[in-house]
Amino acid sequence: MLWAIDIGNTQMAAGVHDGSDWIHVWRLDTDHNRTEDELAVHFKSLCDLEGIEFEASGAAISSVVPSLNTAVESFCRDRLSVEPLIIRTGDEVGLPVTCHPPTTVGADRIANAVGAIDKWGTPVII
């Protein structure tokens, strides 16, 4: 299962995908002090509630909250045993960003664009 984690300013969304469909998506408050252990407790409990195996074949992270990046990356490595794809810029996922400076486009927007292009092709408006 692929885990996708989007760390936004007010909420963190995490979902598991089985290769053909989203199994479940959860939302947690974005707590800038949340630790890897807290994430593990939350996500393991949520998986148990839904009857979902707490495992991963891969993980992708987009974040606009740098203070949480280390905890979420460690959660993926240590608890899910996968090296996460960390989306920071369009270059990392083959998406040219033409605004200036390109760093003003958040990782969440880049992930949305890549997903829309994959699902509908181009041109696409998000």
CA-based torsion, 13, 110, 58, 38: positive or negative? negative
Q: Where are the beta strands (DSSP E) in the chain?
A: 2-7, 11-17, 22-29, 58-63, 85-87
* Catalytic-role residue among 29, 78, 91, 108: 108
Any catalytic annotation for residue 108?
A: yes
CA distance 90 to 23: 27
CA distance 104 to 121: 24
The region that residue 51 occupies, defined by phi over 0 for left and psi between -120 and 50 for alpha, beta otherwise, is: left
- The residues annotated with a catalytic role in the active site are 108
